[in-house]
């Protein structure tokens, strides 16, 4: 059951690399949150009830609902819905993404630790690389934000790869994930407000002149 979910999650990472619409970014982030929610429940089914509740709250309520809602709100406030490409085509982005997938699969072959699930490790590494590719190839800060979220999801999957054996590490990773996400969203909203207010001031100045 987990394998199809991880494959679907991998496909969302490939689509993140080639899509140009902000709304698609937000919807994909929400879909990834729901996938992580189900994957975590299946992976950690033997964990204690409080830990399962904590993981469910972070993946479903935060990643699956709150973060996509905030991203869609940002899209409405900025009134922009397309990503500006920085000298790279969708084809090049797809090649880089597939190359990162190949690297992740190759590295996974050398994982020889019974405490680490190689499938989770490979998908987590690909999520990390996908986030880095998104940050490097895109100019807009919105795309960078989604790239950081993809990296954080990769960190979550890394912790899930060994979370059955080390639940405390998983909880610490989740708390760090929430903290970083909140800080980035707060910084992002602050920058948007500054830009919007600066634009209003410029408009008023032109009217006065």
Angle at 128 between CA 105 and CA 184, to 5 degrees: 170
| 116 in any annotated domain | yes
Q: What is the pLDDT of residue 201?
A: 37
| 207 in any annotated domain | no
Binning pLDDT at 50, 70 and 90, where does residue 55 land? confident
Does the pLDDT of residue 7 top 90, yes or no?
Answer: yes
Which of 85-94, 95-104, 164-173 has the weakest average pLDDT?
164-173
* Higher per-residue pLDDT: 152 or 177: 152
The pair of structure tokens assigned to 110 is: 């050398």
| 206 in any annotated domain | no
Rounded average pLDDT over 201-209: 41
Distance, in Å, from the CA atom of 85 to the CA atom of 93, rounded to the nearest integer, reads 10
| 143 in any annotated domain | yes
Q: Which domain holds residue 41?
A: 2-78+88-201
Residue 150 and residue 134 in contact, taking contact as beta carbons nearer than 8 Å: yes
Which of 8-12, 50-54, 113-117 has the weakest average pLDDT?
50-54
Q: What is the mean pLDDT of the chain?
A: 76
| 141 in any annotated domain | yes
Binning pLDDT at 50, 70 and 90, where does residue 4 land? very high
| 208 in any annotated domain | no
| 40 in any annotated domain | yes
Does the pLDDT of residue 127 top 90, yes or no?
Answer: yes
How many structural domains are present in the chain? 1
Distances (CA, A) of 104 to 4, 89, 111, 132: 18, 23, 11, 14
* Higher per-residue pLDDT: 83 or 119: 119
Rounded average pLDDT over 186-207: 50
Residue 105 and residue 122 in contact, taking contact as beta carbons nearer than 8 Å: yes
Which of 2-6, 106-110, 115-119 has the weakest average pLDDT?
115-119
Its pTM stands at 0.78
| 123 in any annotated domain | yes
């Amino acid at each position: 059951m987990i394998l199809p979910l991880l494959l679907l999650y991998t496909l969302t990472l490939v689509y993140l690399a080639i899509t140009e619409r902000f709304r698609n970014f937000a919807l994909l982030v929400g879909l990834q949150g729901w996938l992580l929610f189900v994957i975590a429940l299946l992976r950690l089914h033997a964990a204690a009830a409080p830990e399962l509740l904590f993981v469910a709250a972070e993946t479903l309520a935060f990643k699956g609902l709150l973060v996509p809602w905030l991203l869609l709100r940002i899209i409405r406030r900025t009134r922009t819905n397309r990503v500006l490409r920085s000298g790279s085509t969708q084809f090049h982005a797809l090649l880089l993404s597939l190359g990162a997938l190949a690297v992740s699969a190759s590295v996974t072959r050398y994982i020889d630790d019974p405490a680490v699930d190689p499938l989770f490790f490979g998908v987590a590494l690909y999520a990390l690389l996908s986030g880095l590719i998104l940050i490097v190839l895109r100019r807009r800060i919105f795309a960078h934000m989604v790239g950081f979220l993809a990296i954080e999801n990769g960190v979550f999957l890394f912790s899930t790869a060994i979370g059955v054996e080390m639940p405390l590490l998983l909880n610490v990773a989740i708390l760090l994930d929430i903290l970083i996400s909140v800080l980035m969203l707060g910084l992002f909203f602050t920058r948007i407000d500054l830009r919007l207010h600066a634009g209003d001031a410029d408009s008023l100045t032109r009217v006065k002149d």
